[in-house]
Amino acid sequence: MDQTGAPGRVELSAAPDGTAMVRVSGAWTLPHFAAIERSMQPVKTALPAQARLDLDGLSALDTAGAGLLSVLLGPERLRAMLDALPDLAPERRALLETVGCAVHDIFAHPPPQPYALGFIGLLARIGSAVEAIWLQTRLLFGFVGLTLETLARNLLRPQRWRMAALVTQIEQTTLDALPIVSLLSFMVGAVIAFLGATVLKDYGASVFTVDLVSFAFLREFGVLLAAILLAGRTASAFTAQLGAMQAHEEIDAIRTLGLDPIEVLVLPRVLALMLGLPMLTFAAMLAGMLGGALVCVLAIGIPPAMFLSLFHADTPLRYFWVGMSKAPVLAFLIAIIGCLEGFKVTGSAESVGERTTSSVVQAIFVVILVDALAALFFMEMGW
């Protein structure tokens, strides 16, 4: 902006007839905001009740300058002073009156007091955080119930099954995740074999590396790695998809068209994961054992045929089922958390980010929690 001229200033002086004059001069514009405010300080304290306004020296005025002048004089007094200035240019008068009204509104509504800090504030925050966790847990259980109910209603009516959506979801969540799950499991398998080889060598028991790898991957790591990857990869995708739909009122549209969003959006995703995660778990088990076998062959010198026969002799089949039985449960929880967080999006871009983060954190937390509980259970049962 090309405001030319000196920065705006204001001073008090006495008119020839003795009344006080508020003399306003220079450019009262945004770039001079601080300078104008400095020159206002002495005037503010000395301002008499009766005064006249002199705007002749004013070279430029914008809303920022008009706002400062209104604050200095007070909106009511400014209005009275303007009425006493018949020669004022109409656009200046319009600006000062408009801004004066606005300042009047601000004075009429002082800002609310911020929250109390200190000990009481701390307690209040702890309380609201605990309440939020409780509400979230209740909401999650409610949503699980709702989904199961919808599933039960639709299970016996094959004409309501959404096969196209289901197959698409399986492709996106399972087939597309196959390379990364396999690669990751392969590498973790190799690392575990190395660890086992290093520790067991001192006891001359390197051969048990085979058992270590096969037990670990069949019982725990196959399903855990696949589930954690799915929690990061798919729970976030579900949240973002449903969140964007929620933000654009698409979910409301689904409802008003007489459709059930749970049936249309949630069931295909839940079922896709429940079918997909066991398949990914199987792939992860194979890839992990392959990684372990490779290390056994190259680093310990156990030939592949020996690896297979040791595996065959030492590892009971039920270990496979122990691992596999967890897959559908974890898949159900991951999908439910992803969808529920998506429904909780409230329109802002920030909320999508917040909910996506929350969904991944919750999903990974629940996966590890459930896996730990299951490990305890299976151990106590002696399976």
| Contact footprint for other proteins (CB under 8 A) | 1-5, 27, 29-31, 33-34, 37, 59-60, 62-64, 67, 89-92, 94-95, 98-99, 101-103, 105-106, 108-109, 111-112, 346-351
Cβ nearer to other proteins, comparing 35 with 166: 35
Of 60 and 370, nearer to other proteins (C-beta) is 60
Write the single-letter amino acid at 263. Answer: E
Which residue blocks in 248-266 are alpha helix, DSSP H? 250-256, 261
CB of 347 to other proteins, least distance (A): 4
Q: Closest separation between CB of residue 79 and other proteins, Å?
A: 15
- Alpha-carbon distance of 36 to 28, in angstroms, equals 7
In angstroms, give the least distance from the CB of 350 to other proteins. 4
**Minimum distance from CB of 91 to other proteins (Å)?**
5
Q: Report the nearest approach of other proteins to the CB of residue 35 (Å).
A: 11
**Among residues 263 and 341, whose Cβ is nearest to other proteins?**
341
Cβ–Cβ < 8 Å for 325, 219: no
In angstroms, the CA 51 to CA 55 distance is 13
Of 322 and 345, CB closest to other proteins: 345
CA atoms 249, 254, 260, 264: torsion sign = negative
Helix H or strand E encompassing 127 = helix 119-155
Residue closer to other proteins by CB (options 2, 380) is 2
What does each C-alpha distance from 67 to 33, 49, 75, 80, 100 come to in angstroms? 10, 20, 10, 16, 7
Residue with tokens 């529920």: 340
β-sheet bridge partners, residue 60: 27
CB 17 within 8 A of CB 50: no
> Angle at Cα 20 formed by Cα 19 and Cα 26, nearest 5°?
135
- Minimum distance of other proteins from residue 292's CB (angstroms): 47
Beta carbon nearer to other proteins, 33 or 311: 33
